[in-house]
Copies of this chain bind each other. A is one copy, B any other.
Protein backbone atom coordinates (compact mmCIF):
# COMPACT_ATOMS: atom_id res chain seq x y z
CA UNK A 1 0.00 0.00 0.00
CA UNK A 2 1.49 3.30 -1.10
CA UNK A 3 2.07 6.00 1.50
CA UNK A 4 -0.83 8.49 1.37
CA UNK A 5 -0.03 11.83 -0.17
CA UNK A 6 -0.57 13.78 3.05
CA UNK A 7 1.97 11.56 4.79
CA UNK A 8 4.48 12.29 2.05
CA UNK A 9 3.97 15.96 2.73
CA UNK A 10 4.27 15.40 6.47
CA UNK A 11 7.46 13.40 6.25
CA UNK A 12 9.13 15.67 3.76
CA UNK A 13 8.18 18.81 5.64
CA UNK A 14 9.43 17.32 8.89
CA UNK A 15 12.68 16.19 7.35
CA UNK A 16 13.24 19.75 6.21
CA UNK A 17 12.25 21.20 9.57
CA UNK A 18 14.55 18.91 11.49
CA UNK A 19 17.43 19.64 9.17
CA UNK A 20 16.93 23.36 9.58
CA UNK A 21 16.54 23.04 13.32
CA UNK A 22 19.81 21.18 13.78
CA UNK A 23 22.14 24.18 13.91
CA UNK A 24 19.54 26.78 14.53
CA UNK A 25 19.91 27.04 18.29
CA UNK A 26 23.46 28.22 17.61
CA UNK A 27 21.91 31.30 16.00
CA UNK A 28 19.69 31.91 19.01
CA UNK A 29 16.49 31.15 17.15
CA UNK A 30 13.86 28.46 17.57
CA UNK A 31 11.81 27.17 14.64
CA UNK A 32 8.77 29.42 14.88
CA UNK A 33 10.65 32.68 15.20
CA UNK A 34 12.45 33.29 11.91
CA UNK A 35 9.34 33.76 9.81
CA UNK A 36 8.24 36.56 12.14
CA UNK A 37 11.65 38.24 11.97
CA UNK A 38 11.60 37.89 8.22
CA UNK A 39 8.33 39.78 8.00
CA UNK A 40 9.57 42.46 10.38
CA UNK A 41 12.72 42.84 8.33
CA UNK A 42 10.75 43.98 5.30
CA UNK A 43 7.85 45.70 7.06
CA UNK A 44 8.75 48.34 9.57
CA UNK A 45 6.35 49.24 12.37
CA UNK A 46 3.93 46.53 11.47
CA UNK A 47 1.09 45.11 13.51
CA UNK A 48 0.65 41.66 15.00
CA UNK A 49 -2.31 40.80 12.82
CA UNK A 50 -0.29 41.52 9.66
CA UNK A 51 2.37 39.06 10.76
CA UNK A 52 -0.24 36.46 11.53
CA UNK A 53 -1.86 36.84 8.13
CA UNK A 54 1.40 36.82 6.22
CA UNK A 55 2.92 33.91 8.12
CA UNK A 56 -0.22 31.76 8.05
CA UNK A 57 -0.45 31.35 11.82
CA UNK A 58 -3.00 32.53 14.35
CA UNK A 59 -2.61 35.83 16.24
CA UNK A 60 -2.40 33.89 19.51
CA UNK A 61 0.60 31.99 18.19
CA UNK A 62 2.31 35.16 17.05
CA UNK A 63 1.71 36.71 20.44
CA UNK A 64 3.70 33.95 22.12
CA UNK A 65 6.50 34.08 19.57
CA UNK A 66 6.78 37.82 20.12
CA UNK A 67 7.22 37.24 23.85
CA UNK A 68 10.20 34.99 23.24
CA UNK A 69 11.75 37.22 20.61
CA UNK A 70 11.37 40.26 22.82
CA UNK A 71 12.94 38.46 25.77
CA UNK A 72 15.92 37.66 23.61
CA UNK A 73 16.24 41.21 22.37
CA UNK A 74 15.37 40.37 18.78
CA UNK A 75 12.60 42.96 18.50
CA UNK A 76 10.92 45.90 20.22
CA UNK A 77 7.25 46.16 21.00
CA UNK A 78 5.47 49.48 21.43
CA UNK A 79 1.87 50.57 21.66
CA UNK A 80 0.79 52.84 18.83
CA UNK A 81 -0.13 56.33 20.02
CA UNK A 82 -3.06 56.86 17.70
CA UNK A 83 -4.49 53.41 18.25
CA UNK A 84 -3.99 51.99 21.70
CA UNK A 85 -5.19 48.57 20.59
CA UNK A 86 -2.39 48.12 18.11
CA UNK A 87 1.29 47.25 18.46
CA UNK A 88 4.21 48.75 16.62
CA UNK A 89 6.88 46.12 16.16
CA UNK A 90 10.48 46.53 15.04
CA UNK A 91 13.32 44.11 14.51
CA UNK A 92 16.55 45.00 16.34
CA UNK A 93 20.12 44.75 15.05
CA UNK A 94 20.54 41.54 16.97
CA UNK A 95 17.42 40.24 15.27
CA UNK A 96 18.72 41.25 11.86
CA UNK A 97 21.97 39.44 12.49
CA UNK A 98 20.29 36.23 13.63
CA UNK A 99 17.93 36.36 10.66
CA UNK A 100 20.83 36.74 8.28
CA UNK A 101 22.71 33.74 9.67
CA UNK A 102 19.56 31.71 9.66
CA UNK A 103 18.71 32.59 6.05
CA UNK A 104 22.13 31.45 4.90
CA UNK A 105 21.65 28.18 6.76
CA UNK A 106 18.28 27.69 5.07
CA UNK A 107 19.84 28.25 1.67
CA UNK A 108 22.24 25.42 2.40
CA UNK A 109 19.41 23.14 3.46
CA UNK A 110 17.52 24.06 0.30
CA UNK A 111 20.54 23.17 -1.76
CA UNK A 112 20.77 19.79 -0.10
CA UNK A 113 16.99 19.25 -0.38
CA UNK A 114 17.00 19.84 -4.10
CA UNK A 115 20.28 18.13 -4.90
CA UNK A 116 20.02 16.42 -8.28
CA UNK A 117 17.07 18.55 -9.37
CA UNK A 118 17.46 20.39 -12.66
CA UNK A 119 16.56 24.07 -12.82
CA UNK A 120 13.32 23.18 -14.58
CA UNK A 121 12.46 20.58 -11.96
CA UNK A 122 13.02 23.06 -9.16
CA UNK A 123 10.71 25.55 -10.84
CA UNK A 124 8.16 22.82 -11.45
CA UNK A 125 8.31 21.73 -7.81
CA UNK A 126 7.72 25.27 -6.57
CA UNK A 127 4.87 25.66 -8.99
CA UNK A 128 3.27 22.45 -7.71
CA UNK A 129 3.47 23.70 -4.14
CA UNK A 130 2.05 27.02 -5.18
CA UNK A 131 -0.88 25.39 -6.98
CA UNK A 132 -1.60 23.11 -4.05
CA UNK A 133 -1.52 26.05 -1.65
CA UNK A 134 -3.92 27.96 -3.84
CA UNK A 135 -6.27 25.00 -4.11
CA UNK A 136 -6.43 24.74 -0.33
CA UNK A 137 -6.55 28.39 0.69
CA UNK A 138 -7.69 30.43 -2.33
CA UNK A 139 -4.62 32.55 -1.67
CA UNK A 140 -1.26 32.85 -3.38
CA UNK A 141 2.23 32.77 -1.85
CA UNK A 142 3.59 36.05 -0.49
Contact = CB atoms under 8 A, between A and B. Distances in A.
Contacts of A112: 135-136
A20 B6 CA distance: 9
Interface in A90-136: 103, 106-107, 109-110, 112-117, 121, 124-126, 128-133, 135-136
How many copies of this chain does the complex contain? 2
Given A6-B16, A10-B35, A128 B131 contact: no
Contacts of A124: 124, 128
A110 B5 contact: yes
B135 A115 contact: yes
Given A10-B13, A11-B56, A4 B135 contact: no
A15 B110 contact: no
A35 B13 CA distance: 15
A60 interface: no
A132 B14 CA distance: 11
Contacts of A9: 12-13, 16, 129
Given A10-B13, A135-B115, A110 B142 contact: no
